[in-house]
Amino acid sequence: MTKSFLLPVFMSLRPLQWLKNLAIFSAILFSGRLFNPNYLWPVFFAFLIFNLLSSGMYIINDLIDVERDKIHIYKRFRPIAAGSISKKIGLLLAVVLILIGLYFSFELSTNLFVVALVFVFLQLFYNLLLKFIILLDIVTIAIAFMLRIFAGSLVVLVPLSSWLILTTMMLALLLAAGKRRAELTLLTERLAGKHRETLYHYPMKLLDGITFMMGAASLITYSLFTFSESELPSKNFIVSYLPQTLESPKWLMITIPIVVYGILRYLYVIFEGKGGDSPEKILISDLPLSLSILAWLIGVLIIIYFIPS
């Protein structure tokens, strides 16, 4: 195979979208088991499996939307829309990726296989029908994120906080609504509707309202998650310097201001029209937002794993 063929195939996998599958690590991250090999490796393999499934479903999406993608300012460069990969090769690649992903999910865990199967059918149903129905399109995206959370939890049977599930759902709705708004901003109303039919029916004010509402909901549910989490082991060397009222602090609440900034920065990028049409592109291209995510991750790791008792 030549480089001219392999590169379009790799691009059709949409590796940037694999960032969404990092949600699979959430359960073991907050349970304090991230660096335990007995938990890390099964979850890592689940992450790889969902990368295969996601890529396969994205190719199917490209096959279904090929004519719509040709009029999009960015998506017209996708390999199938640009003609770099034939539809037959795309379909074959998608089927192979999905079957391999399902096979290895079954080998790894029956629980994971069930979640993976639901994920595939949900994505297929979304591509064929749900993405053409206003509001249900963004709700389906949120459910897909929740399935990723469940996958990481069920593959190693780690308890999952209900507040973390809700936070994931609210954040996914925020990203989905922001994406819809960005598409309306980038394209004229006529072209936006041709690219995605639901954009004919999404009033800009409604998307603005959903975006603000989900931003607030994400912050509230995350705050409640940090407050409801079990107290981490007492950090005696720190507690000794604190007032008596802070002897049993919820340390993860320290990360709330970082989350506040991250959400506000995302809203700024969306409303300024600087974010393109992809949340993943925003996360890696907007330096302040990228730094806030990195700061949040470092803060969580330090609080849960590296502050001595």
More confident call, 195 vs 295: 295
The DSSP annotation for 81-141 comes to HHTSS-HHHHHHHHHHHHHHHHHHHHHH-HHHHHHHHHHHHHHHHHHHTGGGSTTHHHHHH
- Determine if residue 86 is left, alpha or beta; phi over 0 gives left, psi from -120 to 50 gives alpha, anything else beta: beta
* pLDDT exceeds 50 at position 190: no
What's the rounded mean pLDDT across residues 20-45?
94
What's the rounded mean pLDDT across residues 38-61?
96
Out of 105-114, 157-166, 176-185, pick the least confident: 176-185
More confident call, 160 vs 96: 96
* pLDDT exceeds 70 at position 265: yes
* pLDDT exceeds 70 at position 249: no
Tell me the residue length of the chain: 309
In this prediction, residue 308 carries a pLDDT of: 56
* pLDDT exceeds 60 at position 89: yes
Domain boundary assignment for the chain: 1-160, 161-309
188 phi and psi angles, rounded to 5 deg: -65, 160
Q: Choose the most confident range, by mean pLDDT, from 34-48, 154-168, 221-235.
A: 34-48
In this prediction, residue 192 carries a pLDDT of: 47
* CATH fold for the domain made of 1-160: Tetracycline Repressor; domain 2 (1.10.357)
Q: How far apart are CA 239 and CA 182, in angstroms?
A: 46
307 phi and psi angles, rounded to 5 deg: -85, 120
Looking at residue 155, the DSSP 8-state letter turns out to be T
Paired tokens of 234: 């007492």
pLDDT confidence of 188, banded at 50, 70, 90? low
